[in-house]
Amino acid sequence: MGEYFITSNLDPRKDHVLYKDDEHMVVYLGTQEGGQDVDVNSYLIVSRGRGILIDPGGYKIFSKVLANISKYIDPRNIDYIYMCHQDPDVAGSIPLWREISDAKILVHWLWVRFLPHFGFESIGSYAHELQDEGEILEFGATTLEFIPAHFLHSPGHFTVYDHRSKFLFTGDIGIAFPDEGYLVVEDFEKHVQYMRPLHERLMASNKALKVWVNKVRYLDIEAILPQHGAIIPRKYVKRFFDWLENLKVGVDLMR
């Protein structure tokens, strides 16, 4: 059994180990900086000495991400970089990673032909295409499950369930920009105020939300790790799903 380190006093500006056992580790890379920029959450999974980077972030935070990764693994030992969608806050640093790593880019098939715009000349040698139905990837000591979450908000999007840590990485699902910086949700009702307007604007429809919730509700989830905002710990996971199921968003709000 591993140990969890998800507490309300975690500083979002610093890197933190969130889960660790003898063979497996999940790290938040300290990528929130405050200010006027869109803050992001980047994560590192290290399993049996190999790494996968979840949503590497943009150009501005590359040096910080690289420095923090180097505390836990040689960056050359990163086998995969997962980009949940094509936005610059998710993938703007991809050209820089290409210079130091031979990692495969895990990405929905829709975005593969966009990779040349990041400087990839040979798509086939760098891209690991994920099909609409998702994929099971055996990685080190864990199994990673890529679960379809299309139109939330990207038309080609997956959430990633790490069976070892029981973390669900959700990209923009769970997005929030709190007025004050915190990394772990402590007051769910207050946090909803920061999530609601962004979900109403970015998510396609309540139907898309319900389809996804029905796919993930059965999972044993220790925490939800979004790409923006705060980590949702186990005690609030069911409330988060219930909230999403009843939320009108996107085209539901058009008149």
Residue 159: predicted pLDDT: 97
State how far the Cα of 51 lies from the Cα of 188, in Å rounded to an integer: 32
State how far the Cα of 24 lies from the Cα of 46, in Å rounded to an integer: 6
β-bridge pairing 15-20 and 24-29: antiparallel
Q: And the tokens for 26? A: 């999940």
Residue 133: predicted pLDDT: 97
Residue 35: predicted pLDDT: 66
230 burial level (CB within 10 Å; 0-12, 13-18, 19+): buried
- Judge contact between 97 and 90, C-beta under 8 A: no
- Judge contact between 51 and 69, C-beta under 8 A: yes
Q: Give me the domains of the chain, ranges plus CATH numbers.
A: 3-253 (3.60.15.10)
- Judge contact between 17 and 25, C-beta under 8 A: yes
Backbone phi, then psi, for 167, in 5-degree steps? -95, 145
Residue 169: predicted pLDDT: 98
Q: Which residue positions in the chain have pLDDT lower than 50? A: none
State how far the Cα of 219 lies from the Cα of 230, in Å rounded to an integer: 20
Residue 54: predicted pLDDT: 96
